[in-house]
Structure 1
């Protein structure tokens, strides 16, 4: 099997969805989104998008597709967990790879103190000193 036909076999076109691209442009009604080898390769109105001949088709009529909105700001342990939630939290936190923390630490250590503090002085009581960031 050639690499081209292997790629086409792995292509999936998600069609008939309302597509929000996320760049401020108007939503694309009756859109098509082509995923090939795990990557989005085409986005546009159905009929205007080139679809590999052997692509699988998934009908998303009545649905909306848009870029993910992920809240990565969390305070683990600030939520007043019960004992069962505490156990669940521990299980969920363990899979976080140490390199994630190392990357954050490296970035934080490369910046001057207070350069990008998440708790600006104008939001803190005057009696509460500014923490090190």
Structure 2
């Protein structure tokens, strides 16, 4: 899944991927550090999407360059630096637009399946290939 997302004027163009979309959604309630984003994405996707550190930080760099997320602070925990990220207003709008796009796509897909299901039902009581 990819679609275009726009950030503030002058921001780099951004192609919305499933991973980027889930990262934006994970940051909607509150700023999170990297590992917490990885956990939130896994939870949001019911385990279907797992992010490695390289994938996460590559996406965060692109999202940041597009003005959709921004650093929100740092702290040292057990001697390790945690950098927090938050979604921007443009990022929230991009996530809302992507959600609307996916809803429309799902509705069109369901209509197509419903039509297809009706059209492919046998009318004579016989299945395709002449089997009863």
Say yes or no: TM over 0.5.
no
Could you tell me the TM-score, scaled by structure 1's length? Answer: 0.24
The structure with more radius of gyration: 1
Could you tell me the TM-score, scaled by structure 2's length? Answer: 0.24
Between Structure 1 and Structure 2, the one with more helix by share is: 2
